[in-house]
Amino acid sequence: MRAFVESASEPVVVLDSERRLVAASPAATALLGDQGSGRRVGEDVRGAIVLFVGALPELSAYQELRAGFTAAVSHELRTPLARLLALLESTTLPGAEVEGLVEQARQEVQQARDLIDDVLFLGELETGREVVSLGRTRALPVMEEIVAAYADRAVHAEVQLVAAGGEAVELPLRPRMIRVVVENLIANAIRYSGPGATCTITASQEGTSQVLVVSDDGAGVQEHDLPRLFERFYRADQARSSRGTGLGLAIVKHIVTAAGGTVEATGAPGQGLEITCRFTT
């Protein structure tokens, strides 16, 4: 193989599964410079024919992730669709309360629509088509606007919402991205914290860092669930019957990390949940 590559007139390189150089043709050597065998080769092989010894680097992991995500989306969509079909069939039964069944069916359609919207939005984030960080935005006015918009939903869930923070605190996110982050975190608290809980949203400056915190004093989560809260479709035990899409916190993490920040969840059963988004300038 090495003899064949070294005799090729075209720029050809052979890499192993970790992108280490195995062999290169003279034209590829001229293109890359004199890189010794065993050295890791990055993206500077553009213009060359690249051959891999063994599996493509990270390809099987990518395929596994993509297949798993597709299967998860399919599973999550089947649930509201199955309930929708059952509700529609129930409307044909004698004495059925058609109006109530139709309202429930409408909710199932909305559930499926929300899931599709979140899947598409997450796809835009991951492919870079949705710009996350573009300038800086004062956080408090956006937070107060969202708290007002979610007031009725919070009252229905018996959860109190409070927005606080410095007027001058700016986050390195577009206004829309701040809105998406805060909306998802507030919706998560309303859905899972439980009646009587208070959800507080704060934005503050800590040294060179801007910090957005959404915390509640509600039901909390088990310690072993904390590291997995930001996984797509992951739901803690008490949340498995939720009507959420299971993508809200994954979207939050993607936006925050894309803007150079970090996100962390802390809490315990009966002690609420706190999610901290930190941006360091």
Tokens of 228: 């997995």
Tell me if 61-126 shares its fold with 137-280: no
Tokens of 189: 């608290």
Give 38-47 contacts, CB < 8 A, sequence gap 24+: 41/13, 41/15, 45/13, 45/15, 47/11
The residue-averaged pLDDT of 36-63 equals: 58
Q: For the ranges 36-40, 47-51, 208-212, 236-240, which has the lowest average pLDDT?
A: 236-240
The residue-averaged pLDDT of 82-86 equals: 82
Using a 10 angstrom Cβ sphere, with 0-12 exposed, 13-18 middle and 19 or more buried, the burial of residue 54 is exposed
Other Cβ atoms closer than 10 A to 183: 17
- Report whether pLDDT(214) > 90: yes
pLDDT attached to residue 52: 65
Domain 137-280, CATH homologous superfamily name and number: Histidine kinase-like ATPase, C-terminal domain (3.30.565.10)
Question: Cα separation of 232 and 245, whole Å?
Answer: 9
pLDDT digits (tens, 9 = 90+) for 110-121: 767 767 776 676
The residue-averaged pLDDT of 91-111 equals: 84
Question: Cα separation of 196 and 252, whole Å?
Answer: 25
204 or 103, which is more confident? 204
CATH code that applies to domain 61-126: 1.10.287.130
- Report whether pLDDT(6) > 70: yes
pLDDT attached to residue 4: 74
- The sign one gets for the Cα dihedral 239, 229, 216, 161 is negative
Tokens of 244: 């959420």
- Report whether pLDDT(41) > 70: no
pLDDT attached to residue 170: 92
Question: For residue 24, what is the enclosing H or E element?
Answer: strand 21-24
pLDDT digits (tens, 9 = 90+) for 224-243: 888 888 887 666 554 444 55
Each domain of the chain, given as residue ranges in start order, spans 2-52, 61-126, 137-280
Contact 44, 82 (CB under 8 A): no
- Report whether pLDDT(58) > 80: no
- Report whether pLDDT(169) > 50: yes
Other Cβ atoms closer than 10 A to 124: 12
